[in-house]
């Protein structure tokens, strides 16, 4: 059949090395786009002009406050308190050592992942990353570190941060030399690095968790909650779909009970009633441990429901095909069902983890001094009392939470692009 309609526009060619996100797009003149979307009618023109002035005014007021009117001395003089609070100052070397260990493990993992992706591209199973992809991924964290260093105004801290960055780069180059047969152990190596960084702070006469505070405590609760709640949530999702009635009933009751209770209630229960569920004579866990248990228990229930939605999206025919090939139920779940289910729910999972990161601010109700609690307490110092500096401290805390949340969001988008979520 002959096509007699108007000739289609020439498709825009993606430059070599750039990632393809969705179907090809056509090149458009910005003026034509603005006329079509912003000034297509008299009403749209008026709305565009009015909202443009409002947005410009709000942006001006915000930038003027940040760079002219705000009194950032309270942040500069309390930057160490905001980072670690009651952490003994003579033991701060442990925190820096932990950062070096984390940089080494993360850099090694990123380097090995890059090598693995290069192998996939050579085999036709992947898409080449765009130029500057790594810089765009770490941009939120780099911005956060830059703001912290400016607030600290310390040459020693700057040199140490440069050393951490150099360690990450060196181990990234080392990770690129990992043979293909060892790719499966890279994730385990990164996990070992996380555990080792924790032991550097707490082991061998280290600092107990109850003496932590500020951003250090917030990061510990967030990372610990994510790492522990994810496998528990996956297990609960699989248990809820189990063919064994007892397992299915227990998992369902747990999920529905936890999801029906506010997080604050679970925090209070964990802080004050967890000891009653332990055997007699058992040492009572620290307050940080009890808060972590509450966050894990709460998040695992929501992760389970997210993963269950992904499990339901896997076609039944693929499971039957795996059974016809003679795969055991365990292998069918591990090789066929779970990879597809998790791939389908990456945005929802990362959204839940971002929510967990922000929910760590609620632990102040049980007596822990995380980042937000420290920001509120420093305004009560004699030098800053009754000066109305709550806006500066809250804005700083909001920036820290935004940087962490935005970084996780960018990592989620990168993973979705790599796995082709929504495109194939």
Q: What is the pLDDT of residues 93-150, one digit of tens each?
A: 999 999 999 999 999 888 888 777 766 666 665 555 555 566 777 888 899 999 999 9
Confidence of residue 217 (pLDDT cuts 50, 70, 90): very high
Determine the average pLDDT of the residues in 196-218: 90
45 lies in a domain? no
Q: Return all residues near 282 (Cβ < 8 A) that are at least 6 apart.
A: 275
CB atoms within 10 A of CB 333: 18
pLDDT reported for residue 21: 47
* Averaged pLDDT, 342-348: 89
* Position 88 in a domain: no
pLDDT in tens, 22-41: 444 445 678 888 888 888 88
Q: 3-state DSSP call for residue 284?
A: coil
The mean pLDDT of the chain is: 85
Give the pLDDT confidence of 296-317 residue by residue, as tens digits: 999 999 999 999 999 998 888 8
Determine the structural domain holding residue 346 and report its residue range.
Answer: 210-386
Q: How many domains does the chain have?
A: 1
Residue 300, in any domain of the structure = yes
For residue 234, give the CATH number of its domain.
Answer: 1.10.3720.10
Alpha helix ranges (H) inside 274-379: 287-313, 316-324, 329-331, 338-344, 346-359, 371-378
Percent of the chain with pLDDT over 90: 48
C-alpha dihedral, 173 to 179 to 185 to 187, nearest 10°: 40
* pLDDT at residue 16 greater than cutoff 60: no
* Helix (H/G/I), strand (E/B), else coil: 370: strand
- Which residues in 36-55 are b (16+ Cβ under 10 Å) and which e? eeeeeeeeeeeeeeeeeeee
> Please, which pLDDT band fits residue 319 given cuts at 50, 70 and 90?
confident
DSSP string, 89-151: GGGHHHHHHHHHHHHHHHHHHHHHHHHHHHHHHHTTSS-PPPTTHHHHHHHHHHHHHHHHHHH
Residue 305 belongs to some domain of the structure: yes
pLDDT, average across residues 179-205:
86
In a domain, 39, yes or no: no
Inside any domain, residue 231: yes
Position 119 in a domain? no
Which of 362, 287, 374 minimizes the C-alpha distance to 86? 374
pTM: 0.84
Instruction: Report whether 391 contacts 70 (CB < 8 A).
Output: yes
Q: Is residue 400 part of a domain?
A: no
- The CA distances from residue 191 to 31, 201, 218, 224, in Å, are 50, 16, 19, 11
């Amino acid at each position: 059949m002959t096509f007699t309609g108007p000739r289609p526009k020439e498709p825009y060619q993606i430059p070599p090395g750039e990632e393809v996100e969705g179907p090809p797009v056509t090149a458009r003149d910005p003026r034509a786009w603005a006329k079509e979307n912003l000034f297509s009618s008299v009403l749209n023109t008026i709305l565009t002009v009015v909202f443009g002035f409002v947005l410009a005014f709000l942006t001006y007021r915000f930038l003027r406050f940040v760079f002219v009117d705000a009194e950032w001395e309270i942040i500069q003089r309390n930057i160490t308190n905001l980072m670690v609070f009651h952490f003994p100052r003579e033991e701060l070397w442990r925190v820096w050592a932990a950062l070096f260990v984390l940089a080494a493990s993360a850099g090694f993992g990123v380097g090995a992942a890059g090598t693995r992706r290069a192998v996939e591209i050579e085999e036709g199973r992947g898409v080449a990353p765009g130029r500057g992809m790594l810089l765009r991924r770490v941009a939120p964290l780099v911005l956060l570190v830059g703001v912290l260093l400016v607030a600290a105004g310390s040459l020693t801290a700057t040199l140490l941060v440069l050393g951490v960055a150099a360690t990450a780069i060196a181990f990234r180059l080392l990770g690129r030399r990992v043979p293909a047969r060892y790719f499966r152990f890279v994730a385990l190596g990164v996990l070992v690095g996380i555990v080792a960084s924790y032991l550097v702070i707490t082991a061998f006469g280290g600092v107990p968790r109850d003496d932590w505070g500020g951003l250090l405590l917030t990061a510990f609760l967030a990372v610990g909650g994510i790492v522990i709640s994810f496998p528990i949530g996956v297990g609960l999702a699989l248990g809820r779909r189990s063919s064994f009635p007892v397992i299915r009933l227990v998992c369902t009751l747990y999920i529905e009970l936890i999801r029906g209770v506010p997080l604050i209630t679970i925090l209070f229960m964990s802080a004050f009633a967890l000891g009653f569920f332990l055997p007699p004579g058992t040492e009572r866990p620290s307050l940080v441990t009890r808060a972590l248990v509450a966050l894990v228990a709460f998040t695992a229930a929501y992760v389970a429901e997210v993963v269950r939605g992904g499990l339901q999206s896997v076609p039944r025919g693929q499971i039957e095909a795996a059974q016809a090939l003679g795969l055991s139920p365990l292998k069918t779940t591990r090789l066929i069902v779970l990879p597809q289910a998790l791939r389908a729910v990456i945005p929802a999972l990362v959204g839940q983890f971002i929510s967990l990161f922000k929910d760590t601010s609620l632990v102040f109700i049980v007596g822990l001094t995380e980042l937000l609690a420290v920001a509120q307490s420093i305004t009560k110092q004699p030098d800053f009392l009754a000066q109305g500096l709550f806006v500066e401290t809250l804005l700083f805390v909001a920036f820290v939470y935004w940087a962490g949340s935005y970084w996780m969001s960018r990592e989620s988008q990168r993973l979705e692009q790599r796995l082709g979520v929504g495109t194939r």
